[in-house]
Amino acid sequence: MTPIQMVDLKKQYLQIKPEIDAAVQGVLDSCAFINGKPVQDFAGHLSQYLGVKHVIPCANGTDALQIALMALGLQPGDEVITPSFTYIATTEVIALLKLKPVFVEVDQQTFCIAPDAIEKAITPRTKAIVPVHLYGQAANMEAIMNLAKKHNLYVVEDNAQAIGSDFTFSNGEKKKTGTIGTIGCTSFFPSKNLGCYGDGGAIFTNDDHLAAQLKMIANHGQRVKYYHDVVGCNSRLDTIQAAILDIKLKKLDDYIGARQKVADFYNKAFAGHPNITTPFTAGYTTHVFHQYTLILNDADRDALHNFLAAAGVPSMIYYPVPAHRQKMFDSFEGDSYQLPVTDWLTERVISLPIHTEMEAEQLTLITTKVLEFFKH
Ligand SMILES: *Cc1c(COP(=O)(O)O)cnc(C)c1O
């Protein structure tokens, strides 16, 4: 048995090494390190896969979110509604742009932003909602889009954890996460479901005008070289990363299938356990299991983490401190927020290893050890 890791990038690489090495060598031979052909090739393939008109590659997922918000022409102090239970990047870029993050609750079962909490937080200054498809399943995008329409708000989807997930509307129509809102954002950080071998990200939209704005902002605000229309930034996906992603995109659905099998195995092993709530998947979404996250009931989470670690089983807390309790947001009166569901989840979640190359023996060891912990 291979030692267990939360994500085993090495093992996955070894499976696809000849293709990857050839693609990287191709970029080295061309020396087109910036904006080489693979960048546009990959963007085209990703737009086909997602069924979205425009894919704008950029340097990382945080930049994707920042550029998306910059393209909407918001004014300092405009309010942006976002979950507190997320990775910090989602909320950080809002504050960085001098907008006001307004933290709201998540649904206790799905871990994603709760539409009724969004509605309560809407004020005349609200301009946008940033839902996060946390751990790999979609937030309730139908309800969110209805609210957005009703109150004339933009929706920027943080799809860093759910690329490939399908959302089904009540009329039966299906769309990929990240293609439903005004703009979608993703990250190709190595451990993400579609990860490269460095940093990378992308922005999606079906709106031609916004696509042009996004492209311009990511490229120093220029449409014509050396003529700069707006203050932008420098955010590019490099050619080597694009060449790697173009290969891994073809395998994404298989990779998702492998993750779902791992989740099934865990779900069966823990079904009905009094101390363990297994992940709930809402009926409107598929789950691509970027993380496999349990809620512990009546259990000492640190003790479980340490017990597993001693047996060679890693586990992680995503995330130990919700955004509204981060020092970073002191000036936004993070402490004044009452988010009991977020706090409750923060104290009880624990994520188990999940990736595309897990071995049967590893899964058996992990589930055996978790169950053994509760027998003490
Ligand atoms: C990873 C991640 C990001 C940021 O992506 P980077 O490429 O690391 O900048 C943003 N939001 C969520 C939810 C993420 O998981």
> What tens-digit pLDDT sequence spans the chain (376 residues)?
999 999 999 999 999 999 999 999 999 999 999 999 999 999 999 999 999 999 999 999 999 999 999 999 999 999 999 999 999 999 999 999 999 999 999 999 999 999 999 999 999 999 999 999 999 999 999 999 999 999 999 999 999 999 999 999 999 999 999 999 999 999 999 999 999 999 999 999 999 999 999 999 999 999 999 999 999 999 999 999 999 999 999 999 999 999 999 999 999 999 999 999 999 999 999 999 999 999 999 999 999 999 999 999 999 999 999 999 999 998 887 668 899 999 999 999 999 999 999 999 999 999 999 999 999 6
Q: Taking the CA atoms of the chain, what radius of gyration do you get in angstroms? A: 21
Q: Look at residue 98 and give its three-state secondary structure.
A: coil
Residue with tokens 């009905």: 272
Cα separation, 191 vs 330, in Å, equals 30
Does residue 13 have a cis bond before it (omega within 30 degrees)? Answer: no
Residue with tokens 């899964």: 363
Structure tokens at 281: 């998947």
Q: What are phi and psi of 13, to 5 degrees?
A: -60, -45
Cα separation, 103 vs 100, in Å, equals 9
**Distance from residue 356's CA to the centre of ligand 1 (Å):** 20
Closest ligand 1 atom, residue 192 Cα? 1
**Distance from residue 8's CA to the centre of ligand 1 (Å):** 19
Closest CA to 289 of 363, 355, 200: 355
Nearest CA residue ID for atom 6, ligand 1:
61
Longest dimension (CA), the chain: 69
Superfamily of domain 252-373: Aspartate Aminotransferase, domain 1 (3.90.1150.10)
Q: So where are the chain's domains?
A: 9-249, 252-373
Nearest CA residue ID for atom 5, ligand 1:
61
Q: Is 179 in the pocket of ligand 1 (CB under 6 A)?
A: no
**Distance from residue 68's CA to the centre of ligand 1 (Å):** 14
111 conformational bin, left if phi > 0, alpha if psi -120 to 50, beta if neither: left
b/e sequence 52-70, b meaning 16+ C-beta within 10 Å: bebbbbbbbbbbbbbbbbb
Question: Looking at residue 316, what DSSP letter applies?
Answer: B
Fold of the 9-249 domain? Aspartate Aminotransferase; domain 2 (3.40.640)
| Whether the domain at 9-249 and the domain at 252-373 fall into the same CATH topology | no
Mutate to test the pocket of ligand 1, among 66, 90, 96, 319 (most ligand atoms within 8 A of CB): 90
Structure tokens at 261: 């099998």
Q: Is 135 in the pocket of ligand 1 (CB under 6 A)?
A: no
Mutate to test the pocket of ligand 1, among 6, 58, 87 (most ligand atoms within 8 A of CB): 87
Nearest CA residue ID for atom 2, ligand 1:
160
